[in-house]
Amino acid sequence: MAIQAHQPLEEGEIYDVLRNDRRRLALERLREADGKRLSVGELSEQVAAAETGETPPPRQKRQSAYVSLHQTHLPKLDELGIVDYDAEEKVVRLEDRIRDIEAYMGVPSRDLDWGAYYVSLAALGACATVAADLSAPLVGTLRPTVWAVGFFVLLGVSAVVQTTAQHGRLPFMADPHDEDGLL
């Protein structure tokens, strides 16, 4: 792997990876493998089937997919740190850097749906605040402002966690990979 995994891929690199249909199909099939290693043979079979819409795909299409994956696409993805490709054993699996390109692929992530999380947290906070104001059992033991402030703080902490999980840093922190030191 030529690029260290903690460096985010640049947008140009992402578009370069995704502009090839076969590479994109290979990444989609590897996502479906859910972290398991696939042989290049298995992967090329799945890619060829997706390309042709036939199961099993024609032998010539399978061979074409195999050769291009083995010689071109998988080594490129390995160099970028998106996959771990063992050319000798001819097996491949996704690396964590796939997250850098998922949004561009339209492939749903298995990570937390932050939008739903924030809506749920806000709704729960509003319900707890109203319930405390109505002196509901358990919740009414604390003042409504305590509940409101508590959920507000929880929303703020959640935003920090989400930002650092997605970007590896907070927006006001300098990017260690930015040569100018500019934000």
Give the Cα separation of 161 and 168 in Å (integer).
10
Using DSSP's 3-state secondary structure scheme, residue 13 falls into helix
Could you tell me the strand order of the sheet in which 83-86 lies?
Answer: 38-39, 91-94, 83-86
Residue range 22-42: mean pLDDT, rounded:
93
Rounded Cα distance, 98 and 83, in Å: 8
Predicted local confidence at residue 147, as pLDDT: 95
User: What tokens were used for 112?
Assistant: 């937390």
- In this predicted structure, what is the pLDDT of residue 35? 85
3-state secondary structure of 75: helix
Range with the poorest average pLDDT among 97-101, 107-111, 144-148, 160-164: 107-111
The rounded distance, in Å, linking the Cα atoms of 107 and 32 is: 10
Q: Is-contact 28 46, C-beta < 8 A? A: no
3-state SS class at 110: coil
Q: Which residues contact 125 (CB under 8 A, 6 or more apart)?
A: 147, 148, 150, 151, 152, 154, 155
With pLDDT > 70 as the criterion, what percentage of the chain qualifies?
A: 84
For position 104, what pLDDT does the model report?
A: 80
* 100-129 residue pLDDT tens: 888 787 645 556 778 888 999 999 999 999
Segment 148-169 mean pLDDT? 85
pLDDT of residue 123: 95
Share the mean pLDDT of the chain.
Answer: 86
CB contact at 8 A, 22 and 111: no
Residue 141 has pLDDT above 70, yes or no: yes
- What per-residue confidence (pLDDT) applies to 176? 54
What residue type is 115 in one-letter code?
G
| Chain position carrying tokens 């920090």 | 160
Average pLDDT over residues 39-60: 94
pLDDT at residue 177 is higher than 90: no
Q: Is 88 helix (H, G, I), strand (E, B) or coil?
A: coil
What pLDDT score does 174 carry? 62
